[in-house]
Amino acid sequence: MNEPVGIALLGSGVVGRGVLAILSEQQDLLERRTGLRFEVCHVVCRDVNKNADLAKTYNLHTDTTRAVSDPRVKIVVEVMGGLGAESPINEAIRSGKHIVTANKALLAARGNHLFPLAKKHGVSIGFEASCAGGIPIIDALTRGLLSNRIDSLTGIINGTCNYILTQMTEKGQTYSQALSEAQKLGYAEADPTLDVNGRDSAQKLAILASLAFNCQVNERDIHITGIDTLQADDIRFAEELGYAIKLLGIAERVGDSLSLRVHPTLVHHGELLADVNGAFNAISLYGHAIGHQFFYGRGAGQMPTASAVVADILGVALGIIPHTFARLNIYPGQLEPARVLPFEQLRSRYYLRVSAADVPGVFADITAALGKHHISLSGVSQKESEEDVSVVPVVVVTHRATEGDIQAALKEIDALATIKSPTVCLRIVDVPKEFA
């Protein structure tokens, strides 16, 4: 038997502990399958006292330099999260260690520095766990789908938001009740603001879109709206119209540009994405040869994320990831910048909820403003207000229009004396139809 593969684990939180559990509990299975044994040489944490239970089994300390410079260590596994992980990762790469990371925030912000640095030092970065938890979407994009020109990639890529939306829709929970449950279940980031404001999804979309479309997509290229401003009324009204509201990350070719966006979106109940509930994630993509592919699985939480981390540890130890990483020209830092479609040029169908005073003529004013900006309506319904009877929610569904026209019309509508609060504007996704 060869020497064990030495690992330094940076981070002892939810995911780190899941990684330790798989490596110890599945040791025999992993050895039978790969012929390799793994030894966790270091577990680096922020506070040794808070992780005292791990000290019984592992070499637990707070010194990243000691861990990454240990000659026994071949793979540094970073599950600390946050931009502060850049410095130990840099140090590890410069010491010739392969990296496995779940850190989407860091890869989205600094991937174009870290990937070339790793290539220069002859090591690799495995990052399956950075996107969509346990779903092997990075493996698919870097191997199984390599022969395809990808035309669109749409995903539910934040488990916390999907959990919150599901609980609000199906269990009638409030936003804050559902968020606090998602935190207890280990789905949310240390700072859940990143989940609910859409940035976590945008970071993942930047990583996935760069691989799928072979161009450098940065978080700042993506239009982002989170679920933190979504109102329960709109979830209800959308359901009445036959739609679920999902936080989607969307990247699609429009001519020679890419439309890139994360926002709460109405998805018709006939579509697969509408039935993805709880902390599950899904990625729906269209390749020119393969047609429609749908990936579904647990997108957050301890063991699904740890599953992806350990898969990368195996991939590195077996030489599969280092080989792919060295050979392919698909990683940030070696790609042309994305040509991004300006958001106002987006064409979509829209759901609008106008809060109108209950007076004659208001309906005509709304439709006049929409008509003036070339927006054609496919449905209008007046709802009953549950609170203020003097204000009538009017829900308008449009045919395809441009974002620029919609925003211009809303500016006029919201300036009317009869409109009592800013109009809610949500996009309705039209999932591409598979070519014949």
Catalytic pick among 74, 97, 204, 246: 204
Query: Can residue 299 be called a binding residue for ligand HSE (CB under 6 A)?
Result: yes
166 binds ligand HSE (CB under 6 A): no
Cβ-Cβ contacts under 8 Å for 229 (sequence gap 6 or more): none
Catalytic residue at 204? yes
Q: Is residue 168 helix, strand or coil? A: helix
Nearest approach, Cβ of 195 to ligand HSE (angstroms)? Answer: 5
Neighbours of 220 (CB within 10 A): 11
Residues in 183-212 that interact with ligand HSE by CB under 6 A: 187-189, 195, 200
Asked if residue 309 binds ligand HSE (CB under 6 A), the reply is no
Nearest to ligand HSE by Cβ — which residue? 160
Q: What is the CA radius of gyration of the chain?
A: 24
Size of the site for ligand HSE (CB under 6 A): 11
Residue 400, CB-side half-sphere exposure with 13 Å CA sphere: 6
**Whole-number minimum distance, CB 315 to ligand HSE, in Å?**
19
- Quick one: tokens of 47? 């506070």
- Tokens linked to 83: 């931009």
Residue 351, both tokens: 């759901």
Residues in the chain: 436
- The answer to whether residue 105 forms part of the interface with ligand HSE (CB under 6 A) is no
Query: Smallest gap, in angstroms, from Cβ of residue 426 to ligand HSE?
Result: 21
- Give the one residue of 138, 248, 300, 426 binding ligand HSE; rule: CB under 6 A: 300
Please give the C-alpha separations between residue 370 and each of 3, 224, 375, in angstroms, as whole numbers.
70, 24, 5
Q: Name residues contacting ligand HSE, limited to 58-97 (CB under 6 A).
A: none
**Separation between Cα atoms, residue 187 and residue 161, nearest integer Å:** 9
Closest CB 419 distance from ligand HSE, rounded Å? 36
Q: Which of 6, 159, 226, 315 binds ligand HSE (CB under 6 A)?
A: 159
Sole binder of ligand HSE in the list 111, 133, 226, 297 (CB under 6 A): 133
| Residue whose token pair is 């699985």 | 297
User: Residues 159, 298: contact at Cβ < 8 Å?
Assistant: yes
**Catalytic center residues:** 204
User: What residues make contact with ligand HSE under the rule CB under 6 A?
Assistant: 133, 158-160, 187-189, 195, 200, 299-300
